Structure 1
Amino acid sequence: MIQRTLFRAARPLSRVPPTASPAFRPVVPRLATATPRRFYADAAAKEAGTETSPEASAQSAEETLGLKKALEAKTKECMELKDKYLRAIADYRNLQDRTKREAQAAKDFALQKFARDLLSSLDNLEAGLTSVPTTKLASHDAAPVEEIHADLVNLHKGLQLTEKVLLDTLKRHGVSRFDPAAEGVKFDPNRHEAVFHTPVKDKEDGVVFHTQQKGYLLNGRVLRAAQVGVVKNP
């Protein structure tokens, strides 16, 4: 009973009358709208206390200049290395081409010494064929019977066949014979050897009119120059 009485007596004190003064109402403070501020690099640096000094600017410029010089040096070094690389490639290709040409030349002219040694035999064979008079090689109707020698005719034909076979064999290996007088060409010091000069009528000056010894070529290269007589009119 006593507790209930005390509780009822204290209940009006905890209530706020509806007609209470506005002073007792809670006041909610309003936040003022802040004006936006713009920060710049210089202002930020000044506020932060990190403003760039002239010494730091000079040091940065010096570092930039050093990096630029280093870049230029590396660029120059790269250009030099590229030039050396291209030159090395060109030298290697030239070496390949030269080696190929030398190998081909060695193949083409491997028989040069051997072919030159055979030329004397060909000359002797040709001289033997031209030493026989044509009257002794004529048919029975064109010459007297007593002047015709059948054995000599057969021997001459055999030598002609031997010469033809030998020349054909050499030709298959690049050796060919040429007669400047028969071709009617002018004197060429690279292919001909002038033995004598003489005036000849109805012939142009400098033309080969006589072949004393025929020449030979090996794959286009002069194996032996032809000995010739050249026209030299006054």
Structure 2
Amino acid sequence: MSDDKNKNETETPETAENLAETLAAEPAGQGEARDAAGPDAAAGPDAAMLEAEIAELKDRLLRVSAEMENTRKRAERDKADATRYAAANFARDMLQVADNLRRAIGTLKDDERAAAAESVKAMVEGVEMTERQLLSIFERHGIREITPQPGERFDPNLHEAMFEVPGTEHPAGTVVHVLEGGYMIGERLLRAARVGVAKAEGAATGGNVDTTA
């Protein structure tokens, strides 16, 4: 046993000396870096996963925010359209009143008695004033007239051809006669103008209206 004790006492200084030499041979700062990075180095993969999850959550948040903004804008647009076009059916019915006023004016002006009877002239002025007031109310509510003038090109988006007129001074496919005026409400067609269109020379009777722009 004394031999083992002596052996340990002999080897201990050599082991301590070897450890000291190993630490001395290690590059400066490597030990401190290893100690500082020890816990984090093991957690490296977990940190990368957390960063990926955070990036995904941010992307989802941005998408949800964009969708909510689009939904809000659509709701505002639908509300504005509902307010603007809510009275479309009522306005369409009121167009008949405007038509009757215009017909009355035309009849009174064409009456041979209009030149002699002051009462008829006063009636004409009163009806014309009523028509102007009605059109002013229409405009205030976003309704405007789009009645074409004779000679204007027929527009299938705004006009409805009721018949063709042969042998006119106007080019084929242009408006010759207006039966009823057309109207828009906002950006929508409330009623197409009903018109007669100049017929192309040599076209067969009863053929389709030439609406080529």
Question: Could you state the TM-score of these two structures normalised by the residue count of structure 2?
Answer: 0.66
Quote the residue 1:21 is aligned against: none
1:154 aligns with 2:122: yes
- Residue 173 of structure 1 and its aligned partner are, at CA, apart by 1.8
Contact 2:159/2:194, CA 8 A, preserved across alignment: yes
Cα RMSD of the aligned pairs, angstroms, is: 3.1
For 1:116 and 1:191, locate their aligned partners in 2 and report how far apart those are by CA, in whole Å.
15
**Offset, 1:205:** 3.9
More helix by share: 2
What secondary structure is seen at the aligned counterpart in 2 of 1:180?
A: coil
The amino acid that maps onto 2:121 is V
> SS in structure 2 opposite 1:181?
coil
TM-fit CA distance, 1:159? 1.3
Take 1:137 and 1:43, find their aligned partners in 2: how far apart are those partners?
125
Counterpart residue type for residue 74 of structure 1: L
- Given the superposition, is the C-alpha separation of residues 199 and 39 from structure 1 closer, same or farther in structure 2, using an over 3 Å criterion? farther
**Structure 1 equivalent of residue 149 of structure 2:** 181
Inter-CA distance 200–42: structure 2 relative to 1 (3 Å threshold):
farther
- Worse-superposed segment, 160-169 or 103-112: 103-112
Q: Give how far 1:171 is off.
A: 1.7
Q: Equivalents in 1 of 2:48, 2:155: separation in Å?
A: 61
The offset of 1:86, in angstroms, is 1.1
CA contact (8 A) 1:177 1:217 kept: yes
Look up the SS of the partner of 2:67 in the other structure: helix
2:180 maps to which residue? 213
Alpha-carbon separation, structure 2, partners of 1:173 and 1:221: 13
After the TM superposition, which residues 30-45 of structure 1 pair with which residues of structure 2 at under 5 Å, given as runs? 39-41=21-23
In structure 1, the gaps of 5 or more residues are 1-36, 45-59, 139-147
TM-superposed CA distance for 1:199, in Å, is 4.5
Contact 1:136 1:153 in 2 (8 A): no
Q: For 2:169 and 2:118, how far apart are their aligned partners in 1? A: 41
1:124 and 2:129 equivalent?
Answer: no
Q: Take 2:145 and 2:196, find their aligned partners in 1: how far apart are those partners?
A: 18
**Amino acid in the other structure paired with 2:114:** L
Instruction: Please state if 1:137 is matched with 2:114.
Output: yes
Task: Name which of 77, 81, 84 aligns with 1:105.
Answer: 81
Paired-residue identity, %: 33
Secondary structure of 2:149's aligned partner: helix
Match of residue 74, structure 1, among 37, 43, 50: 50
Establish whether residue 83 from structure 1 lines up as the match of residue 50 from structure 2: no
Task: Compare relative contact order (CA 8 Å, sep 6+) and give the higher one, 1 or 2.
Answer: 2
